[in-house]
Structure 1
C-alpha cells in the first residue's frame, strides 16, 4: 500500500470515527487532560476535541512550545532531512480545535482528587487523564553512563538537540576514526531505529570519512529487519560496519565517557564517537501517577488503552505495555484514536466502534533504499494482538526501494498533519 498524506489520515481515522452526544444543557463540560504532546498525546487531544464538537474541555500539557519528532531524526543525521522540518507547533490545536495548551511540566498526579500538579504552580482537574509521556532511561543500565554523560556520549533517542549533537560529532570524527553504538535491550522505542541510525552514520562517513569504522555493541541476539539491514550494509558500506552480539560480549558493556572508551566483556576499545542508547521505561510521570509495573511500563486494557490500575487514566504509545505493537510514532497515533473514541464514549455517551490498530515502520539504508515492516492488530482480553503483517524482502528492485522511501515521506507529512492539525 502506498501512503501519501491524505491516504494515511483516511486509513487511520476510520476506527475513531463516532457520533458525539451533545452535552446536557447547563451542565459543566467534562474535562480531559492529556500529558505529552507527541504522536500519542497531540493526536488524542485533537481527536477528543474535534469529534466531541466542543462537548469536552480538553487541556494538553506539554513543556516545549515546538515539538521535534524523534521519528525521522535519523534522516536528519544522515543529511536527508532538515532539523527545522522536524519541529511542529501547537497553534492549530488551540485555534482550530479549542485545545487549551499549557506549556509546563506535569510533576504529579493525585488520582484520588483527579488533579495534575504543574511545575509552574497550581494543578489542573480532570475527569479522564491521558498519559503519553514517551520514554525515559533506566538508571545504571549501561555501567559508566548516566544523563550527565549525554553530551560526551549522546543517546539522541529523544527529539531535538541530542540529534544535532550526535550529527556534529559524526561529522567531526578524525580520519579513520571509530563510531560506536551501544544498542538497547528489548523493549525499546522504534525497534529498527538504532540500525537505521547506523545506516545514516555510514552514509555520512562513506562520503566524508570512508576509512572510518562503525562498531555496534548489541545485547540482543537479533533485531528488527536484521536481514535487510545486513544486506544493505554489505551492498553500500562493505567492510565499515561490525556488530558484536551477546555471544561475543555485546551484553557485557561498560563505557568511560571521560576517556572515550568502551569496555566489551573486559576488552577496552578506544572510540571517537559513542552513541549510548540505554534500556528504557515509561516516561517518569507514569510512575508518579502509580500506573507502571515492576518493569517500568504501564499495563493497559487493549480495547480502550485504559490503565489496568486506574480506569480514569489512559496510557498511549511508548509508555504503554499493551502487547504485540512496537513502540513507534505510527503505533502511538493509532492507539490515540482508539483511546479518544473510548474517552468520548465514557464522557458523552457517543457510539463506540470495534477498536482496530495498525503500524508501519520505515527505514532508510542509503539514498533511495527504503525498507519497511508493518502489521494490523486487534484487541483481545490479554493484549493488543497481531493479526497479519508484512516486511520488505531482501533482493528487491531499486525502483521498489525508492518507492518505499517516498512512501515514508508521504507518511511523515500525513502523521504530523494528523497530530497537529
Structure 2
C-alpha cells in the first residue's frame, strides 16, 4: 500500500482504537493524572492519544522544555538543501487548544516513584497516576576522546535537531574549496540506524553543488551499517570519489578528536579536517537514569504495554528504551506511543486493550528523487518486541521506483507530524 498522510493516520488510529467502557475511577479520586515527559514522536503522540481517546476522562500534562520542536527525522534533508528548517519545526499549540493537554515548557529534574511525583526545574511538583517517559537520547561521556558538550559548537553532533543542525550546515557551506568534511559515526545502538549515512549523502549532495572537489571522510566503529549496500551504491553513482569510509578493520574503532586544532586521530594517524560532525555513543535521556529505571544505558520495557520493567506505573517510549528488535526511530516511537496510550487508558478507565503490534519504516534520501527504505512489523513477546517480517529496498532499482519511495516518505512525514501534534 502506498503510504500517504491519510493512510498513515488511518492506520495509526485503527491500531490504537479501543472500545470505551465506564470509568473505574470514583469521583473521590477526581480524574486520573498522566504526566508525559518529552514532546517528540513518542511523547507528543502518547499525550495526544491519551487526551483524544479518553474524551476528557484523563488529565494529561506534557512536559517539554522546547516551545518549538524540530524533528530529527528529515533534518538531514535540510542539510542537503531539500527542505527549509521551518518545515521541520512544530509547536504544541494544537495539543493544548484542541485536546486540552496541559503543556508545560520546563525541564523535569526529578522523579519520586514512591510519592508518584515529578519535580520541574521551575519548582513545580506534578503528581501522577501514570508517568510516560520519552526523553530521547543523551550522549555517553568520553565516548569520543577529545569531544564533549563543551566542544559541540566547534564539532557539532547535530543529532538533536535545531540549532546544531543549522550550525553544521553553516560550517559545511563555509568550507574552503577542496576542503575535508569528517564524520565520526556512532557505535550500536543509536538513534536512527540509517541516519548518519543519509547525512553523508546529503552533505555530498550539498558539496557537489557548492564545492565539488571537497572530500568526505567517515570514521566508523561498526563493521556494517543499515542499508549499507544501498548507500555505497548511491555514493558511487552520485558522488564518485568523494566519500571514503574507514571501518574498524582500519582503525575506525580507535578515534579521538582535537576541536581546537580541527584534527581527527585515527589509530594514531592524524588527519587535518575543515568540518567535523561527531556523533557519539548514546544512552537514554537523563531523566530515565534519575528515575532509576535503566539497565546499563537504556530502559528495559515490557513490550505488551511499554511499561518499565522496574516500575509498572512508568511507561517508556522511543529512543530511550531497550526495545528488543525494534530500531530507535521516530516511526518506532510513534508506534510504541499508541500501544502505551491504549494500555494506560485501559488501566485508568477500564477501556478495552488489544494485543500490542508495532511497525517501523526508515526512509533515506541519497540524491534527488533517489529514496530508499527499510522496515518491519513486530509483535510483543514476554521477552522482547520481536520482529515478524521485514523489507528493504534493493540495489539496482529503477529511477521511477526510487522517486516513488522518496514521495512516499513525504507523505509519511506529513502524516506522522499531524499524528504527533494534531
Q: What is the distance in 2 between the residues matched to 1:20 and 1:281?
A: 37
Task: Select which of 46, 49, 56 maps to 2:48.
Answer: 46
Q: Hey, what's the Cα distance between the residues in 2 that align with 1:137 and 1:2?
A: 36
Partner of 1:99: 101
Counterpart of 2:386 in structure 1 is 385
Distance (whole Å) between structure 2 residues aligned to residue 20 and residue 97 of structure 1: 18
**CA deviation vs aligned residue, 1:332-358 (integer Å, no higher than 9, x gap):** 000000000000011111101111100
C-alpha separation between the residues in 1 aligned to 2:11 and 2:61? 27
Question: When the two structures are superposed, what TM-score results if normalisation uses the length of structure 2?
Answer: 0.99
How far did 1:15 drift? 2.1
Counterpart residue number, 1:72? 74
Q: Provide the residue aligned with 2:325 in structure 1.
A: 324
**Which of 264, 268, 293 is equivalent to 2:270?**
268
Q: Which residue of 2 aligns with 1:204?
A: 206
Alpha-carbon RMSD across the aligned residues, in angstroms, is 0.7
Aligned partners of 1:63 and 1:335: how far apart in 2?
22
Q: Which residue of 1 aligns with 2:417?
A: 416
Query: Could you tell me the TM-score, scaled by structure 1's length?
Result: 0.99
In structure 2, the gaps of 5 or more residues are none
Deviation sequence 1:156-184 (CA, Å, 0-9, x none): 00010000000000011001100000000
Report Cα offsets for 1:79-105 as digits up to 9, x if no partner.
Answer: 001100111111111111111100110
- In structure 2, how many angstroms separate the alpha carbons of the residues matched to 1:240 and 1:2? 34
8 Å Cα contact 1:41/1:132 also seen in 2: yes
Residue number in structure 2 paired with 1:17: 17
Cα distance in structure 1, aligned partners of 2:130 and 2:143: 34
Tell me if structure 2 keeps the 8 A contact 1:63–1:102: yes
Structure 1 position 25, deviation (Å): 6.1
Of 251, 254, 261, the match for 2:253: 251
| 1:158 alignment partner in structure 2 | 160
Conserved 8 A contact 1:15-1:354? no
1:186-224 per-residue CA deviation (whole Å, 9 max, x = no partner) reads 000000000000000000111111110000000000000
- The size of the alignment, in residue pairs, is 420
* Structure 1 gap segments, 5+ residues each: none
Whether the 8 Å contact between 1:199 and 1:364 is mirrored in structure 2 is yes
The equivalent residue for 1:279 is 281
Aligned counterparts, 1:84-123, within 5 A? 84-123=86-125
8 Å CA contact 1:192, 1:361 repeated in 2: yes
| 2:374 matched residue in structure 1 | 373
SS of the aligned residue for 2:230 comes to helix
Q: Secondary structure at the match of 1:179?
A: strand
Q: Which residue of 2 aligns with 1:232?
A: 234
Contact 1:33 1:129 in 2 (8 A): yes
Give the match's secondary structure for 1:186.
coil
CA distance in 1, matches of 2:152, 2:65: 20
* 3-state SS in 2 of match to 1:185: coil
**SS at 2:345 equivalent:** helix
Q: Select the residue among 30, 34, 37 that pairs with 2:36.
A: 34
Deviation at 1:20, TM superposition (A): 2.9
Moved over 4 A (4+): none
Q: Deviations over 1:60-86 (max 9, x none)?
A: 000111111111000000000110011
Shift of residue 273 of structure 1?
Answer: 0.2
Match of 2:7 in 1: 7
Q: How far 1:14 sits from its partner (Å)?
A: 1.9
Cα distance in 2, alignment partners of residues 397 and 122 from structure 1? 57
1:401 aligns with 402
Q: CA deviation at 1:11?
A: 1.5
